[in-house]
Amino acid sequence: MPILQASVTPLPGGICLRGQTAIVTGASNGIGTEIVLQLLEREISTVILAVRNVARGEAARTALLARPSVKKANPKAVLKVMELEVEDYASVQRFTKAFLAEHSELHLLMLNAGIGVLKRDLVSNGHEKHIQVNYLSNVLITLELLPLLNATADKTGKPTRITWTGSRMHNVSALAKGKVPLKPGESVLGHFDSEDSYVAFARYADSKLLCLLFLFELRKHLNGDKVIQNSYCPGMVNTGMSDVLPIYLRLPMNLVKAIRARSVEVAGWIALNAAVVVGPESHGQFLEDKNIVEGSPFIKTAEGQKVQKMLWNETIDELSKLTTIPGWMKKV
């Protein structure tokens, strides 16, 4: 890992999102709030801050509307806070149902909420928390909102977008590194739910690997004519994400962040580049900063491809209990 991160250029001028509606998950702080700010500065009409803590979301909303740049560029913007707890499928479906009841268009879905902690925890449905929060619930949100994203693309004649906040850290997944391979007969989701496969320092990376495997399989089944779906990594960013680490790790991490972390503003440029600047060539792709890259070499190996297919099939099985699986999402 280089000591310093490469410099990133600001967004091009002239981006105007007037008339568009976006959802940003994990919008109450960090990169999520910055994404909302930069969308507002580019005249977006409506943004939903999808947050698990409504009070924190309302505080973010108030602060955003008070920003001079927002008052100047977008005084009539509609900014709404809606509850979304991605640990819980029921909350995801309450959120998508409430959104669909109130909105007839969706142009941009930013799947940004995420966690990286060093403690093994299962959510109420039995899945390991990182896998639920960073991966599974995002696929459910995608499936619930794709029909509206498709319909909006039909109406406007322009592709709509889904952009995931991913991470280069997926390269150091315990699975990708071969540290904890799948056992014979084990499912991918079962592997990550089991205590035996848990490696604290790799679990965040594991969950981000699953997100990419899903996106890379998806592009084989669905083109980006209507909805361009991609993922980006903003590099190391100075947010509160590491504040949940134990103190003995937080102190050295704060030192590393002080030397090399990017500001949230730069992370916002990278996010909006993926979401509104790059085009159809980015469908089903992973961007490091603003560049399309291949992702972990593991993904192309026979084992990586096997895991990708298994995950796809297991995700279909898992979510078919909750929602309608679209016809293009066939098992492989």
Nearer to ligand NAP, 121 or 225 (CB): 121
Q: Which of residues 91-150 bind ligand NAP (CB under 6 A)?
A: 112-116, 133
Q: Nearest distance from residue 109's CB to ligand NAP, in Å?
A: 14
Q: Which stretch binds ligand NAP (CB under 6 A): 5-13, 14-22, 222-230, 239-247?
A: 239-247
> Of 208, 220, 290, 306, which is the active-site residue?
208
Q: Which of residues 21-80 bind ligand NAP (CB under 6 A)?
A: 26, 28-32, 52-53, 56
The contact mask relative to ligand NAP for 218-237 (x = CB under 6 A, - = no) is ---------------xx-xx
Task: Tell me the CA distances in angstroms from 329 to 96, 156, 214, 217, 228, one per residue in order.
Answer: 20, 25, 11, 10, 16
The contact mask relative to ligand NAP for 167-206 (x = CB under 6 A, - = no) is x---------------------------------------
**Which of 47, 12, 13, 18 lies closest to 33, judged by CA?**
47
Q: Is 87 in the site for ligand NAP (CB under 6 A)?
A: yes
Q: Is 85 in the site for ligand NAP (CB under 6 A)?
A: yes
Q: Nearest distance from residue 265's CB to ligand NAP, in Å?
A: 13
Structure tokens at 253: 């991490």
Structure tokens at 182: 């799948």
Which residue reads 């060093």 in tokens?
Answer: 118
Q: Nearest distance from residue 117's CB to ligand NAP, in Å?
A: 10
Nearer to ligand NAP, 85 or 128 (CB): 85
Nearer to ligand NAP, 127 or 152 (CB): 127
**How many residues sit in the footprint of ligand NAP (CB under 6 A)?**
28
Q: Let me know: does 167 contact 233? Beta carbons within 8 Å.
A: yes
Report the chain's C-alpha Rg in angstroms: 19
Cα–Cα distance measured from residue 234 to residue 38, given in angstroms and rounded to the nearest whole number: 15
Cα–Cα distance measured from residue 63 to residue 229, given in angstroms and rounded to the nearest whole number: 30
Annotation marks residue 76 as catalytic? no
Nearer to ligand NAP, 112 or 160 (CB): 112
Q: Is 271 in the site for ligand NAP (CB under 6 A)?
A: no
Q: Is 165 in the site for ligand NAP (CB under 6 A)?
A: yes
Q: Nearest distance from residue 113's CB to ligand NAP, in Å?
A: 4
Nearer to ligand NAP, 133 or 278 (CB): 133
Q: How far is CA 113 from the centre of its chain?
A: 6
Nearer to ligand NAP, 37 or 329 (CB): 37
List the Cα angle 169/174/175 in 5-degree steps.
105
Interacting residues of 197 by C-beta distance below 8 A, sequence separation 6+: 174, 180, 191
Nearer to ligand NAP, 52 or 283 (CB): 52
Interacting residues of 29 by C-beta distance below 8 A, sequence separation 6+: 56, 60, 239, 240
Annotation marks residue 208 as catalytic? yes
> Of 204, 232, 248, 300, which is the active-site residue?
204
Q: Nearest distance from residue 37's CB to ligand NAP, in Å?
A: 13
Structure tokens at 102: 């109130």
Q: Is 2 in the site for ligand NAP (CB under 6 A)?
A: no
Interacting residues of 192 by C-beta distance below 8 A, sequence separation 6+: 127, 128, 131, 203, 206, 207, 210
- Full DSSP string of 82-119: EE--TT-HHHHHHHHHHHHHH-S---EEEE------SS
List the Cα angle 270/105/22 in 5-degree steps.
25
Which residue ranges make up the site for ligand NAP (CB under 6 A)? 26, 28-32, 52-53, 56, 84-87, 112-116, 133, 165, 167, 233-234, 236-237, 239-241
Active site residues: 204, 208
